[in-house]
Structure 1
Amino acid sequence: MKKTALTAALFCFALFYSQKSQNYLQIGYASICCGPPSEKPVISYLKQFKKKNQLKSLEILVQNGMGREGEFNLYVGTDQLTRNQKSRLVRGLMATVSNQNNKREQNSSGIVNFDSAVVVNQSELNIKNLTIYKK
């Protein structure tokens, strides 16, 4: 009986705390003619940020199916970050996105959109096509 109660309590605890963040930064990938740009520069920056700040995890969600040419959004959870870490993350993301947009081919490559003032709440996310980013 104790094992059953303990297992049920553990399952409920894991289910309740599986979604850690309530607030997310949104990074949008738009297409101009030939598909959206790669997310690799942003993801490599996020991995570097996680390692540098010794974070256990950094929640990244991806929302596919935003358009005909494969447009998508990335959402980065910010609730577990301190105020200082969040400001450094935003500055680094702005620099990474700006650098990626400056290096793109003007007429054929897509664009990356990031506005640091836009914070998306969990209730505003479309859960239908939202998954955890794994690559």
Structure 2
Amino acid sequence: MKKILLAAALFCSTFFFSQKNQNYLKISYSSVCCGPASEKPVISYLKEFKRKNQIRSLEILMQKGMGREGEFELYVGTDFLTINQRKRLVRGLMASISNQNNNKKSQNIGNINFDPADIAHQEDLMNVKNLTIYKK
């Protein structure tokens, strides 16, 4: 009986201590004719930001299947960041995204759209289809 209660307590604690982000920054990848731009520069910036600021976990969600050419959106959780960390994250994302948009090798590659004022809330994401945790 004790083992069952211990197992149930352990199982319930995983839900209690799981990430509970409520606010997400939204990064949209659009397409012109030949598919969207790569998410690798933005993801590498996020990984570097996580390493430099010693953040234990940074929640990144991905919504695929938004168009015929592979358009998608990334959602970055910001609730566990301090105010200064969030400002640095937004500045770095804006720089990384504008750099990637300005240095495209071909004009046929899609654009990346990011508005720091456009915040998605958890309620908005509850009914979104094709939403997965980004793992790469």
Q: TM-score, normalised by structure 2?
A: 0.94
Aligned residue pairs, count? 135
Structure 2: tracts of 5 or more residues without a match: none
What is the CA distance between 1:128 and its match in structure 2?
Answer: 2.5
Instruction: Please give the alpha-carbon distance, in whole angstroms, between the structure 2 residues aligned to 1:108 and 1:128.
Output: 27
Structure 1: tracts of 5 or more residues without a match: none
The equivalent residue for 2:133 is: 132
Amino acid at match of 1:46: L
The equivalent residue for 1:14 is: 14
Structure 1, 99-108 or 12-21: larger mean CA deviation: 12-21
The equivalent residue for 2:77 is: 77
What is the CA distance between 1:19 and its match in structure 2?
Answer: 3.8
Instruction: Please give the alpha-carbon distance, in whole angstroms, between the structure 1 residues aligned to 2:135 and 2:107.
Output: 30
Instruction: Please give the alpha-carbon distance, in whole angstroms, between the structure 1 residues aligned to 2:33 and 2:2.
Output: 60
The equivalent residue for 1:45 is: 45
Say which SS state the counterpart of residue 128 (structure 1) adopts: coil
Instruction: Please give the alpha-carbon distance, in whole angstroms, between the structure 1 residues aligned to 2:19 and 2:82.
Output: 18
Say which SS state the counterpart of residue 56 (structure 1) adopts: coil
What is the CA distance between 1:106 and its match in structure 2?
Answer: 5.9
The equivalent residue for 2:2 is: 2
Aligned Cα root-mean-square deviation (Å): 1.3
Aligned in 2, Cα 1:85/1:11: closer, same or farther, shift over 3 Å?
same
Instruction: Please give the alpha-carbon distance, in whole angstroms, between the structure 2 residues aligned to 1:95 and 1:37.
Output: 16
What is the CA distance between 1:12 and its match in structure 2?
Answer: 1.6
What is the CA distance between 1:105 and its match in structure 2?
Answer: 4.4
Say which SS state the counterpart of residue 69 (structure 1) adopts: coil
Please list the CA deviations of residues 65-120 of structure 1 after superposition, one character each: whole Å capped at 9, or x if unmatched. Answer: 11000000000000110011000000000000000000124630100000000110
Please list the CA deviations of residues 37-92 of structure 1 after superposition, one character each: whole Å capped at 9, or x if unmatched. Answer: 00000000000000000011100010001100000000000011001100000000
The equivalent residue for 1:114 is: 114
Say which SS state the counterpart of residue 48 (structure 2) adopts: helix
Say which SS state the counterpart of residue 62 (structure 2) adopts: strand
Structure 1, 44-53 or 16-25: larger mean CA deviation: 16-25
